Amino acid sequence: MKRPNVLAIHSIDHFALEVPDLDEARQFYEAFGLDVRDDAGGLALFAADNPHCWGRLMKGEAKQLAYISFGIYAEDEAGFAAHLDARGTKRIAAPAGGGAEGIWIEGFDGLPLNIRVADKASPSAKTRFEVISAPAGETGAVFNSSAPKVAARGMSHFAIYTSDVVGATAWYEQTLGLRMSDGSGPVVAFLHGAHGSDHHLLALVGSTHRGFHHSSWEVGSVQEVGLGSAQMMRAGYTKGWGVGRHVLGANYFYYAADPWGSYAEFSADIDFIPADFDWPANPNHDPGDSFYLWGPNIPEGFIENTEPAGA
């Protein structure tokens, strides 16, 4: 699936975080249901039955977003290089752990970004969602003793802090070809891929400086979202938000707080935007319509950027 005659990234290939404790990171993401593997002195994040590496974790002084890598089609590589040069985009050396593959640029807020030829990791169709109900005369109960461990199918989207939501939105649209789905002025913006993606593959959250808010991982039902929340609480990760349902994107959610003030989200049934469909974007939803339709109150500090400024 590819929108013809449009130069745009097709996926977030992977992200990279620095964390102060790799053992702590392994415990958190394994409890979440990801396949965590040793990787060149750090860790790599995989989803169940999926060969794609979605994230890399490296040792650092504090939790910090190191870079984001975006995937493009091979036939767009030369066009992207020319486009970036025409825009005067600053080329940079690969950061530690980033590897030399692809093009490295300085992104909005100075965030290192990588554009590389890669297989499309974002979905090309609406993902499967199940509503399971027991017929009359049968129980719908799943006993705690036999409840399956929730394991994500893959990463749905990635949310970052930015110093200027409106300015960053324009930058990602003009530089990487992302498209506005919905937003709420300077508060938040949700961007999708032109070649088909979930309602957002990148979310921008207003802050004083750049940083990482959450990674979102696809599961197949509200039941799995709920089981995921219980799974994390039993593992000792009792801070979070949900279960609930968003308005923009419409996905069911539970956010589990990691040890460093950011989150991993179980997400189910998010809206999908095909490559041949022009979504009726609205960048100025009322804040009351931009966050959640139902669920518990937002916990204190949920949108606090805990990363060091001036990185």
Distance of CA 17 to the CA centre of its chain: 13
Q: What is the pLDDT of residue 1?
A: 77
Q: pTM to 2 decimals?
A: 0.95
In CATH, the number for domain 11-294 is 3.10.180.10
H helices present in the chain, as ranges: 22-32, 77-86, 165-176, 222-234
Q: pLDDT tens, position by position, for the chain (311 residues)?
A: 799 999 999 999 999 999 999 999 999 999 999 999 999 889 999 998 889 999 999 999 999 999 999 999 999 999 999 999 999 999 999 998 898 899 999 999 999 999 999 999 999 999 889 988 889 999 888 888 888 899 999 999 999 999 999 999 999 999 999 999 999 999 999 999 999 999 999 999 999 999 999 999 999 999 999 999 999 999 999 999 999 999 999 999 999 999 999 999 999 999 999 999 999 999 999 988 888 999 999 999 999 999 998 76
Annotate 247-292 with DSSP letters as a single string: SSS--EEEEEE-TTS-EEEEEES--EE-TT-----BSB--GGGSSE
- List, in order, residues 6 or more apart from 136 with CB less than 8 Å away: none
